[in-house]
Amino acid sequence: MRVITPIVLSLPLLMIGCSDERQLRQWQQQQVEQLQEQAQQNAEASRTLIETDSKARQELVAIQRDLQTDQHELARQRDLLDADRKDVAETRARVPLLATAFQGLAALLLCSVALAVCGYLLRGLSKDTRCGGTRRPLGPRNRWGDTGLRAAVNDLANHNQSGSDPAASFRIGLGCTLKTR
C-alpha cells in the first residue's frame, strides 16, 4: 500500500495540475481573443480615422481652391477698378485741356470774324462814292500825317479852331468829306 498511496495521492495533484493547465489555457485563449478584438477595434478606428482625415483633407483642398478662385476674382476686380480709376483721372486731366482749347478756338474764331467784318467794311468805305465824289484812298496821310479816324478827329478839331461850322463839313474817318448843308 505504500506504493499505491503515493500514486493515489499524486492522482488528485495531477488532476489539480491538469485543471489548472486547462484554466491557464482558457485564460490564455481569452487573452488572445481579447487582443484580437482590440486589434480589430484599433484597425477599425484607424480606418475610420483615416477616412475622416481623408474627407477633411478633401474639404480643405476644396476650400483652398474656392479661396484661390475668390482671390483671383478679387484681383481681377481690383485691376478693373484701377483701370477705371486711371480712365477717370485721364478724363479729368483731358477735360480742362479740351475746354481751354475750345475757348482758345472760339476766341480765335471770334477775332477772325471781327477782322473779316472790319476788312469788309474798310473795303466798302474805300470804294464809297456817296460822299459827293470826293474820295481819298486808304492809307495816305493827311496834312498832319494821320490816317483814318485820327485824321477825321483832327479835321473836326481844325474846323472848330478856324471858326467854321463843324456840322457843315467834316471829314469821315477814312477820307470822305461829308457836306451837310
Q: pLDDT per residue over 109-157, tens digit each? A: 999 999 999 988 888 776 654 555 454 444 555 555 555 566 666 666 6
- Would 167 be classed as within a structural domain? yes
pLDDT tens string 59-80: 999 999 999 999 999 999 999 9
Q: For residue 135, which of 181, 175, 107 has the smallest C-alpha distance?
A: 175
Distance of CA 128 to the CA centre of its chain: 65
Q: Would you say residue 162 lies in a domain?
A: yes
Q: How confident is the model at residue 172 (pLDDT cuts 50, 70, 90)?
A: very low
Instruction: Judge whether 147 lies within some domain.
Output: yes
Give a yes or no: residue 103 inside a domain: no
Question: What residue numbers bound the domain in which 143 lies?
Answer: 128-181
Q: Say if 117 falls within a structural domain.
A: no
* 112 in any annotated domain: no
The predicted model scores a pTM of 0.35
Q: How many domains does the chain have?
A: 1
Residue 73 lies in a domain: no
Task: Say if 173 falls within a structural domain.
Answer: yes
State yes or no: pLDDT of 180 exceeds 60.
Answer: no
Which residue would you say has higher pLDDT here, 173 or 156? Answer: 156
> Is the distance from CB of 175 to CB of 137 less than 8 angstroms?
yes
What's phi and psi for 177, nearest 5 deg?
A: -100, 125
